[in-house]
Amino acid sequence: MVDVALRKLHQMLREAANRSGKLPRLVLMTPEGTRVAVYVSSKGATSPDSVTVVEHAAREFQRFGFVLPDGSWETDRKWNGGTIDVLPTLRLFVADPTNVATAQGAKTGLCTFCGLTNRQRPPFFHVECARYFGLGDL
Ligand SMILES: [Zn+2]
């Protein structure tokens, strides 16, 4: 099913890749505290041109699924199901990236736009990372 918010998320990641010349990564947090990483899929991926959504954890790597260019969601075949629904978290971020990144960064100490340690003061993310995602008026 095509999802306008997910299509926008896909577009943000693709544009960030073009602007930065690297493969950018978003790190988001679900209400349950699961860290989720979102990045442009590598060329050899199961779903090329997609955006991959995985658990951002050192152990027990879990891939949730992929966002396709048209905004449709493809659950990873190997996902054990679980109870984690990452889609509301992704949609929430797309609706208000700057505020979500600030709130999450204050909580986690990480920059939402790269996943590395932030500067521990507002806006709790790296402004230069946010620019890659089209938040240029910061
Ligand atoms: Zn950053």
* Spacing, Cα 100 to ligand 1 middle (Å): 14
- How buried is 47 (Cβ within 10 angstroms: 0-12 exposed, 13-18 middle, 19+ buried)? middle
Distance 25 CA to ligand 1 centre (A): 9
Q: Whole-model pTM?
A: 0.90
Q: What is the pLDDT along the chain (138 residues), one digit of tens a residue?
A: 789 999 999 999 999 999 988 888 999 999 888 899 999 988 777 777 899 999 888 676 788 999 999 999 998 887 766 666 899 999 999 999 999 999 999 999 999 999 999 999 999 999 999 999 999 666
For residues 111 and 123, give the distance between their C-alpha atoms in angstroms, rounded to a whole number: 9
Q: Report the separation in Å between the CA atom of 118 and the middle of ligand 1, taken as the mean of its atom positions.
A: 7
Please provide residue 135's backbone torsions phi and psi, each rounded to the nearest 5 degrees.
Answer: -95, 65
Q: Residue 23 Cα, ligand 1 centroid: separation in angstroms?
A: 13
Contacts of 85 (CB under 8 A, 6+ apart): 30
Cα 108 to averaged position of ligand 1 atoms, centre (Å): 13
CA gap 16, 132 in Å, rounded: 5
